[in-house]
Amino acid sequence: MIAAWLVHLYTASGAVLALLASVDIYQYRFRNAFFWLALALVIDATDGVLARRAQVSARLPQFSGEQLDNIVDYLTYVFVPALFVWRAILVPSEWTIGVCSAMLLSSAYGFSRTDAKTPDHFFTGFPSYWNIVVFYLLLGGFSVEVNAGMLLVLAALVFVPIRYVYPSRTPVLRGVTLVLGAAWGLLMLLMLWRMPGVPRPLYWLSLAFPAYYVGLSLALEVRRRQSVG
């Protein structure tokens, strides 16, 4: 039982990291803030394995680790990135509240769907990877109008019932996805270390895994719809 509670504490620590990231964003220490979010991402990627090993659902049936995980994920994947958009002036000033609201409200809907995570381990709708999107926009140097357009399109895609790969659990090509994801994670850490002077070839190379992720998700979605039809 102690091990189960420690796993839940490990998950909950992501909320503290969200607070630390928010403080750094407010003080324009964007690089430091992304380090906190990267650490939160590591926790999110590993707490599920620990939870299964500690058999938390059997030992603490009165406590919902899934609900705790959703609360922390909303803070680190949605709220803190929206704060980035505001503080880093990534969109036109007159659009800031609207764009940030679109991120917050669309993801609130996405997180609340009963089929947000399907039984066969897919995400339904754009899975609110706003932390990654904002990182790329901050380094990309695109115009504020282009940034706003991208964010609004992604907010709309939360409502489109396309299924996206759950990297650590979707069985199709899971080994390949994990290996490529690990390599991409190293590239992301390298870019974070080099901020703000990230070489453009490194930036574009790092987009290979997101392209693979989207391509695989769409290919599996097409195959699923054809089999249903």
Delineate the domains of the chain, giving CATH numbers in brackets. 2-228 (1.20.120)
Bridge partners, residue 117, by sequence: 123
- Per DSSP, helices labelled H in the chain are 2-26, 30-54, 56-59, 65-73, 80-87, 96-112, 130-140, 144-157, 174-194, 200-206, 208-228
* Best CA proximity match to 125, nearest among 108, 138, 100: 108
Q: Please tell me the pTM assigned to this model.
A: 0.93
Mean pLDDT of each 10-residue bin along the chain, 229 residues long: 89 97 97 97 89 86 90 97 97 97 98 92 95 97 97 98 93 95 95 94 97 97 88
Tokens of 191: 């870019």
Instruction: Specify the pLDDT at position 60.
Output: 86
The confidence score (pLDDT) of residue 229 equals: 67
Q: What is the reported pLDDT for 74? A: 97
Tell me which long-range contacts 29-36 makes (C-beta under 8 A, separation of at least 24).
30/84, 30/88, 30/138, 30/195, 31/192, 31/195, 31/196, 33/80, 33/84, 34/135, 34/192, 34/195, 35/192
DSSP string, 111-161: HH-TTSB-TTSEEES----HHHHHHHHHHH---HHHHHHHHHHHHHHTTS-
Rounded distance between C-alpha atoms, residue 185 and residue 191, angstroms: 10
CA distances from 13 to 6, 112, 128, 129, 224 (A): 10, 22, 20, 19, 37
